[in-house]
Structure 1
């Protein structure tokens, strides 16, 4: 009789048990195994408390964000004005984003004639901007667009609320939340949308993020409950009037209207009740599109279905109030002939609704994503300098154009 080591026997028994698994059991086991490994990786990346933190900014970067000369910033530090930076071992001054925002408020008060430049938050009479980032097609960089836009606007001094409506919760993961570990029942936007007595104020599901100026409502699979419950609510009469399904997201967000300048919603990659609610709530829509034929064909279906569904909403008394709808070209290779042709086609059809700036295809965004970071979080020495600069310049151009549309909606020139 052959001799088996005890661990070998256990391995054989485990394999036998696996062979009798149903498909449901197998997928559940693999999901749990992967989830545990992801949690372990996160704890290795962000020890000891397993939470993300934002890098500090050099004097040069801080001066650029504030729009002042570096020498002015240095003199303010020497004079002890406002935030006092930390010193690195090499003697260089570095600022946290919280300190940069403190400097913004100080400069706005000290130079009232330039207050709007230093502190560009919305004023009385300027409505909350709710931007929904949407598309059907995977790979259109919807989540990446929402992430970089939120970081850019926060670095510009605006108060941002990020809402992850995608049950896959990729945006939440980029902000350091592993959905199945960090987001419990009732802690997504579903908690503020549900149709029963367990519904909570939206403020109860908002969290502070590690990125000063950005709060987040994370997502997880719980969001699918809204898709399942809404048809039942419609049939039972619980979804009507001000509580009708397509108004619920907007109603919830307006509860915290005074706390933010811009809300950025990462919509699910399908046209369900959540996406329709996000589109109805929006003051602006950003439709991401990779300029390839299959992606554009998918977007065409998205537009056709959205048009049909929005017509139904309008017939039910829902009035759309979008300040702008723009197409954001992502992962564009300007040296790819077919892509260039598609970009030309889209511009000829949609004109100025296609943003002039494009996000170029680059390994820098993918490399940052592996570390669950945006380009704005990457240290200068983390990748080839020219690659990082080109990528940031591309993303900056798109985000600054979006910011200009926001400011136009606020009535600013």
Structure 2
């Protein structure tokens, strides 16, 4: 019997066979990554034109050009056609220069870092139905907020490590033992500070806590910790994520958590830490039924947390319609049902289904990373308009939590 180039032998055990498949696929993924990101096999963020910079900061292009002419701020790269090209790091330097000239809300709109009294925003993206675009949503939100000038920490809490892969990290090659959030959550002497598992990414002001299969260990150690009395009081399992985030509270404005597709101890910790909950939902009846189960189980487990002294407080909770085809009549009926049932708790803007998102995903990229011209201009434009509208709405929820003017 033959599958591809791999011969299956009768004396090979199922575990050996699966292990061989895993090693073969892992090696191929590693080779593909090296082909995509030569020569150092690391991702890099594309440069931005002065038009892009003006749009991201919210000023005129002439303001950006004048800064360069006056010798203020960073010096852009000059392209062969004479146009200016900026890195995201340079864009953030420009933000600081322009914000120094403004006061009050005008300065904050340009450089949106948290001000005194504004709490860290923690956005948990959750659902236990596969295919709801949870990781796609988390990736685009983290990238969007970083491009908007916020200091962002993305946490991959899913042992499958899809969010990590979107940042160019292959978990079995690039993530050493004890280098996921598990390292900061565990109950033994090998526990380490959160700062030691945080990685810088190729996005300025966007850091990542990667994932791999070791995260699943948290689900196994918690029952033992409860039985031994280690998981109690301030060290009880559902406080764990919130407590470790306090270690880096002053370094970030927003934390985006991509939760695992299950309601285990990790997800409960993320929900307890969250200030905002985003539930991704593909508008199909099967997904709707699954979401109903998710909500019922979440309510029961949150009740258990509250009965054990955990005061849960969300500034907001929203459903996000994902992969929506407005020309699909059954989908449209499901969306209408959701809006009738939950009103403003459903985000106004859906994330539209698009080949642009699918094509970007093949290269482990978000729409914000695609070079202009890499796919059809109108296709990319429509997809970006959709995802931007979603992310602006989430940003407005954050601002409202801080008491800022919208």
TM range (shorter): over 0.9
Asked if 2 retains the 8 angstrom alpha-carbon contact of 1:364 and 1:388, the reply is yes
Deviation of the 1:112 alpha carbon: 2.9
- Does residue 310 in structure 1 map to residue 278 in structure 2? no
Alignment TM-score, normalising by the size of structure 2: 0.97
Alignment partner of 1:82: what SS?
coil
Alignment TM-score, normalising by the size of structure 1: 0.95
CA shift digits 1:66-97 (9 cap, x unpaired):
11111121121112111110011222110000
- Does residue 383 in structure 1 map to residue 375 in structure 2? yes
Q: Which one is further off, 59-68 or 383-392?
A: 59-68
Structure 1 outlier segments of 4+, above 6 Å = 14-17
Asked if 2 retains the 8 angstrom alpha-carbon contact of 1:161 and 1:264, the reply is yes
Alignment partner of 1:380: what SS?
coil
Alignment partner of 2:124: what SS?
strand
Equivalent residue number for residue 20 of structure 2: 29
Equivalent residue number for residue 332 of structure 2: 340
Equivalent residue number for residue 266 of structure 2: 274
- The separation in 2 between residues aligned to 1:106 and 1:255, in whole angstroms, is 29
Alignment partner of 2:9: what SS?
helix
Equivalent residue number for residue 319 of structure 1: 311
CA shift digits 1:230-253 (9 cap, x unpaired):
111111111100000000000001
- Does residue 42 in structure 1 map to residue 45 in structure 2? no
Specify which of 393, 402, 405 is matched with residue 401 of structure 1: 393
Specify which of 129, 132, 136 is matched with residue 137 of structure 1: 129
- Does residue 52 in structure 1 map to residue 52 in structure 2? no
Equivalent residue number for residue 329 of structure 1: 321
Alignment partner of 1:252: what SS?
helix
Equivalent residue number for residue 257 of structure 1: 249
Q: Which runs of 5+ in 2 are unaligned?
A: none
Q: After TM superposition, list the pairs within 5 Å mapping 1:94-109 onto structure 2.
A: 94-109=85-100
- The separation in 2 between residues aligned to 1:267 and 1:396, in whole angstroms, is 22
Specify which of 373, 378, 402 is matched with residue 365 of structure 2: 373
- The separation in 2 between residues aligned to 1:321 and 1:236, in whole angstroms, is 29
Q: Which runs of 5+ in 1 are unaligned?
A: 1-10
Equivalent residue number for residue 82 of structure 1: 73
Alignment partner of 1:54: what SS?
coil
- Does residue 149 in structure 1 map to residue 141 in structure 2? yes
Asked if 2 retains the 8 angstrom alpha-carbon contact of 1:85 and 1:95, the reply is yes
Alignment partner of 2:100: what SS?
helix
- The separation in 1 between residues aligned to 2:200 and 2:160, in whole angstroms, is 21
Equivalent residue number for residue 205 of structure 2: 213
Provide the aligned length of Structure 1 versus Structure 2. Answer: 401
Structure 1 residues 77, 198: CA separation in 2 closer, same or farther (over 3 Å shift)? same
- The separation in 2 between residues aligned to 1:254 and 1:123, in whole angstroms, is 17
- Does residue 283 in structure 1 map to residue 275 in structure 2? yes
Deviation of the 1:329 alpha carbon: 0.6
> Higher Cα Rg: structure 1 or 2?
1
Structure 1 residues 33, 79: CA separation in 2 closer, same or farther (over 3 Å shift)? same
Asked if 2 retains the 8 angstrom alpha-carbon contact of 1:59 and 1:70, the reply is yes
CA shift digits 1:228-281 (9 cap, x unpaired):
111111111111000000000000011100000000000000010000110011
Asked if 2 retains the 8 angstrom alpha-carbon contact of 1:18 and 1:26, the reply is no
Structure 1 residues 299, 17: CA separation in 2 closer, same or farther (over 3 Å shift)? closer
Equivalent residue number for residue 344 of structure 2: 352
Equivalent residue number for residue 204 of structure 1: 196
Q: Over aligned residue pairs, what C-alpha RMSD do you find? A: 1.2
Asked if 2 retains the 8 angstrom alpha-carbon contact of 1:207 and 1:216, the reply is yes
Q: After TM superposition, list the pairs within 5 Å mapping 1:172-251 onto structure 2.
A: 172-251=164-243
Alignment partner of 2:278: what SS?
strand
- The separation in 2 between residues aligned to 1:71 and 1:160, in whole angstroms, is 29
CA shift digits 1:96-148 (9 cap, x unpaired):
00000000001111223521111011100000000100001111000000000
- The separation in 2 between residues aligned to 1:389 and 1:110, in whole angstroms, is 33
Deviation of the 1:18 alpha carbon: 3.1
- The separation in 1 between residues aligned to 2:54 and 2:205, in whole angstroms, is 18
- The separation in 2 between residues aligned to 1:333 and 1:321, in whole angstroms, is 34
Deviation of the 1:38 alpha carbon: 0.4
Deviation of the 1:16 alpha carbon: 7.2
- The separation in 2 between residues aligned to 1:213 and 1:28, in whole angstroms, is 38
